[in-house]
Structure 1
Amino acid sequence: MTYRQRLSLFIILDSFIVLIAIFISSFLVDASIYVFTAPVVISSIVILLSHHSFSIFYKLYKKAWEYASVGELIIIFKIVSFSVLFAVGFQQVLFQQTYFRLLAVTWLLHMMLIGGSRFVLRMYRISIINNSKNQKRTLIVGAGAAGTMVARQLLKNNDGLLPIAFVDDNFKKHHLDIMGIPVLGSVSRIEDVVKDYAIENIIISIPSLSKKELNDIFRECAKTKAKTKILPMLEDLVTGKVSVNQFRDVQVEDLLGRDQVDMDIQAISEYVTEKVVLVTGAGGSIGSEIARQISEFNPKTLILLGHGENSIYSIEMELRVTFKHSPIEFITEIADLQDANKMSDVFGYHKPDVVYHAAAHKHVPLMERNPEEAVKNNIIGTRNAAKAADWHGVKTFVMISTDKAVNPTSVMGATKKLAEMVVQGMDKHSKTKFVAVRFGNVLGSRGSVIPLFKKQIETGGPVTVTHPDMVRYFMTIPEASRLVIQAGTLAKGGEVFVLDMGEPVKIVDLASNLIKLSGYSTDEIGIEFTGIRPGEKLFEELLKADEVQEKQVYPKIYIGKTATLYLDEIDEIINTYVNFDRDSLREYLVNLANGKVALQQKPFMSASS
């Protein structure tokens, strides 16, 4: 129906209602005196014209009645009241008297019929939707403003979801009906409500939920077979990126990511804006996200350095499109960290102010089998980048480390620990501020457990977990990148920054949640335990006992105390590692990173050396 057709329909309907109201009133008051007399006819004309005039003034005919609320009822009250008051004035002027009983009954009927007609239209619309077939019975978690909007959208759009009930932890709303939909209790009743009302879909409609609250709700939803969806992020709703009815599946990142730590925008702007910034490993999960977030602060130049041409090309094209109206100069450098001359040339040519060193080998089992490659990339590569930064006057050098560097049992963790020692050692005699940032596992990064689990679920399972008691710390890629960027503003030189990552997560629980989020049960997919792999620990730590400092330097950020640096031993490894067999090299790296081996012992030399 076009707007003109809709307007014509409402004008005809309201005209009929006004005339019916006043003539019925005249009959009810005293038919023998009032019906078709001059006061009645003139009053009906005045009320009719006044009603349409005030309706246009208050835009009554433009209201979408499927969204009607108390505001629309107040407008109807004003229009009816003002129309009748105009009739009072005309009666007093023309007849020197006012027929109060007539106008009072007219006002009452006018109000009832106008409001009732809109209510009937709305209920007719809802009844058509409710009677449509193939709608999935839906439970809405949250009976606040967002939940009410969701219910209204579902009732209006007929898009396959039928709201049956609300649950909400606000006990004041329990046993109430909102838009005809009952609030059946708190979140703890989700399982019972789903069973009793044959619910097929659950929509979590509380945009401001913390991670812990969302976890609690999802645990209740996971007890059912209903498909769980969630309202878009609050900032996406506010900015208009998505509408309230564009629900999305609950992601494992929603459940495991910590609540966001706000960044010190002013401090970051001061040391990034209009500066030359270089990111090593810019094609990787962390490096590319650092590049994205740094670009928001408008550096003068952003240098994307990496060894893989495809990944560097991909992030370059993405940034050029995303920031096409920005004056940032994006430069790509295909370079190997192990090439000291090339690193010096790149740093010398571009003269970066800030360097984020994200390039590294990080796959634990692969590095156990190839310890010499971990030495080349994680230790030698870091030293080459750090020396180039020192030689060419970089102001701040931020190295990305890992929780596996604490009491390491793997080659990957050991080489990252030794790389931390390299940058801390460089800081002692350099004008460049060298720091390291240590955090746990990153959700969704390449080679991490979540992409593996998703592939296993797609192929029908089973999902493989090394040990039922295996636990890990997790954080999202954006938060890991924010920490790295923030650390640069806090750097005084030589620190190892550590994020308070909350409680560790059992990997078997992660696998179970991911299976349920994919729409399956653990019985359908299955979880298989394969045993701990070489170099793995059941749990990870973020700081050794002798590194712990209780005071936070920024919300959720700590600084570890400087540990003993084995710089001579590291130099010895770099100079002679090619002469040693893998088993001995692996053993020595782990022992040295844990402070158990002195340079003179050199137990890893082969007979030929």
Structure 2
Amino acid sequence: MSILEGSSILVTGGTGSFGKAFIDYALKNLNPKRIVIYSRDELKQYEARLRFNDDPRLRWFIGDIRDQHRLKRAMHGVEYVVHAAALKQVDTAEYNPFEYVQTNIVGSQNVVEAAIDSGVRKVVALSTDKASSPLNLYGATKLAADKLFQSANHYAAGYETRFSVVRYGNVMGSRGSVIPFFRKLIDEGKPLPITDSRMTRFWITLPQAVQFVVDSFDLMNGGELYVPRIPSMNITDLVEALSPGAETYEIGIRPGEKLHEEMISEDDSRRTLRLDDRYVVLPTIAHWGFVPPTGEPVEEGVAYRSNTNDLWLTAADIRTLIEQLD
């Protein structure tokens, strides 16, 4: 039984791919008292209301995480918060850097402030593999947000609220991901553009990501950065899974993009424990009574990267997962 069962939950960015998958899971499995969907787009909220048949347990708040006052109003009576709102496109961030700073950094601090002031019990913030040793602006803003949420436990030491972070890789089939894009080109009979045939990525399905976040609420004491043990895949195997023998051409790595992704850096490995299904990166400073979980220390100086992972998806594995998504 999860601590989320029968509770009041708020999801920032609740009309995104993760948010809708989390809400669907919660309605079916957690019997929530209510779920507050906090997002900016009225059309997406309307579409989500239709998707969930105007379930009476859902509350709909139009708002931006840049607006701390609105966040406080939305969090009234909320016990748990999933912070999924963010600007996420790597190349767009390179062109509009301060917009990403305002949403991903300032907006995250607003979530922290509002959660503490509203008496929220626990907050789990979603991060990204791009926040580890960030090369791009998006990754840098998410690393800053990760630090804000971990350090927020100092800020809230005299309060009930505790904060943790979940970091994972690309979500298979999510909005704006490569699978829908490739499928459209395949349907049109066009060759598939790949940035680099050597490219590798971490992959996780939406149901796996949702379950990982739910489990993290149960495990967390505040300050942990949780990283799931998930497989890697090669971009050429993804193409083979979608359309065997498809024609491809290389377009080169886009601004701010990495050839291989990383979720735990070599330096962070000194503070990392391995549990059954995850790694836990411990906070650098923890003066709020943090008790580290029981786990096996990972080998010092070994980064958790998509190209050196010990778990891999073959083209056949990817095809099976895609079929399950359909």
Q: TM-score range by the shorter chain?
A: 0.7 to 0.9
Say whether 1:288 aligns with 2:10. no
Partner Cα distance (1:354, 1:515) in 2: 42
The offset of 1:313, in angstroms, is 2.0
Partner Cα distance (1:334, 1:551) in 2: 39
Partner Cα distance (2:97, 2:285) in 1: 23
1:310 is aligned to 43
1:420 is aligned to 146
Q: 1:563 to 1:510 in 2, by over 3 A?
A: farther
Partner Cα distance (1:357, 1:476) in 2: 18
Partner Cα distance (1:414, 1:281) in 2: 20
Say whether 1:370 aligns with 2:96. yes
- What's the secondary structure of 2:262's corresponding residue? coil
Say whether 1:300 aligns with 2:33. yes
Q: What is the letter of the counterpart of residue 83 of structure 2? A: H
- What's the secondary structure of 1:303's corresponding residue? strand
Say whether 1:560 aligns with 2:288. no
The offset of 1:469, in angstroms, is 0.7
2:128 is aligned to 402
**1:358-392, CA deviations, whole angstroms, 9 ceiling, x for partnerless residues?**
11111111111111111011111111111100111
Contact 2:168 2:227 in 1 (8 A): yes
Q: What is the letter of the counterpart of residue 210 of structure 2? A: S
Q: Please, what is the CA RMSD of the aligned residues?
A: 1.6
Partner Cα distance (1:289, 1:563) in 2: 32
Contact 2:13 2:19 in 1 (8 A): yes
Q: 1:446 aligns with which of 166, 175, 190?
A: 175
Partner Cα distance (2:284, 2:201) in 1: 24
- Structure 2: which 5+ residue stretches go unaligned? 287-326
- What's the secondary structure of 2:101's corresponding residue? helix
- What's the secondary structure of 1:536's corresponding residue? coil
User: How much identity, in percent, do the aligned residues show?
Assistant: 35
The offset of 1:419, in angstroms, is 0.3
1:473 is aligned to 202
1:343 is aligned to 71
Contact 1:337 1:381 in 2 (8 A): yes
* Map 1:352-391 → 2, pairs under 5 A: 352-391=78-117
Partner Cα distance (1:527, 1:285) in 2: 28
Contact 1:304 1:316 in 2 (8 A): no
1:248 is aligned to none
Partner Cα distance (2:18, 2:284) in 1: 26
**1:39-71, CA deviations, whole angstroms, 9 ceiling, x for partnerless residues?**
xxxxxxxxxxxxxxxxxxxxxxxxxxxxxxxxx
2:315 is aligned to none
Partner Cα distance (1:400, 1:477) in 2: 13
Q: What is the letter of the counterpart of residue 539 of structure 1? A: H
Partner Cα distance (1:351, 1:420) in 2: 25
The offset of 1:562, in angstroms, is 2.2
The offset of 1:315, in angstroms, is 2.1
The offset of 1:501, in angstroms, is 0.9
Contact 1:547 1:563 in 2 (8 A): no
Q: Where is the strand percentage greater, Structure 1 or Structure 2?
A: 2
Say whether 1:531 aligns with 2:252. yes
Partner Cα distance (1:440, 1:506) in 2: 13
Q: What is the letter of the counterpart of residue 332 of structure 1? A: W
1:272 is aligned to 4
* Map 1:188-203 → 2, pairs under 5 A: none
- What's the secondary structure of 1:408's corresponding residue? coil
Contact 2:272 2:281 in 1 (8 A): no
Contact 1:320 1:330 in 2 (8 A): no
Larger Rg: 1
1:319 is aligned to 52
Say whether 1:432 aligns with 2:154. no
- What's the secondary structure of 1:474's corresponding residue? strand
**1:136-163, CA deviations, whole angstroms, 9 ceiling, x for partnerless residues?**
xxxxxxxxxxxxxxxxxxxxxxxxxxxx
The offset of 1:550, in angstroms, is 5.8
Partner Cα distance (1:462, 1:444) in 2: 20
The offset of 1:453, in angstroms, is 0.8
Q: 1:552 to 1:320 in 2, by over 3 A?
A: farther
1:543 is aligned to 264
Q: What is the letter of the counterpart of residue 63 of structure 2? A: A
Partner Cα distance (1:453, 1:564) in 2: 44
1:513 is aligned to 241
- Structure 1: which 5+ residue stretches go unaligned? 1-265, 566-609
* Map 1:16-415 → 2, pairs under 5 A: 266=1, 268=2, 271-295=3-27, 296-320=29-53, 329-347=57-75, 350-415=76-141
- What's the secondary structure of 1:439's corresponding residue? coil
**1:543-562, CA deviations, whole angstroms, 9 ceiling, x for partnerless residues?**
11232356434x31221132
Q: 2:229 aligns with which of 489, 497, 500?
A: 500
Q: What is the letter of the counterpart of residue 41 of structure 2? A: G
Q: What is the letter of the counterpart of residue 52 of structure 2? A: L
- What's the secondary structure of 2:37's corresponding residue? strand
Partner Cα distance (1:369, 1:491) in 2: 36
Partner Cα distance (1:370, 1:539) in 2: 24
Contact 2:123 2:163 in 1 (8 A): yes
Q: What is the letter of the counterpart of residue 19 of structure 2? A: G
**1:207-239, CA deviations, whole angstroms, 9 ceiling, x for partnerless residues?**
xxxxxxxxxxxxxxxxxxxxxxxxxxxxxxxxx
Higher relative contact order structure (alpha carbons within 8 Å, sequence separation ≥ 6): 2
Q: Which runs of 4+ in 1 moved over 4 A?
A: none
Say whether 1:455 aligns with 2:184. yes
The offset of 1:563, in angstroms, is 4.2
What is the aligned residue count?
281
Partner Cα distance (2:111, 2:229) in 1: 28
Q: What is the letter of the counterpart of residue 459 of structure 1? A: E
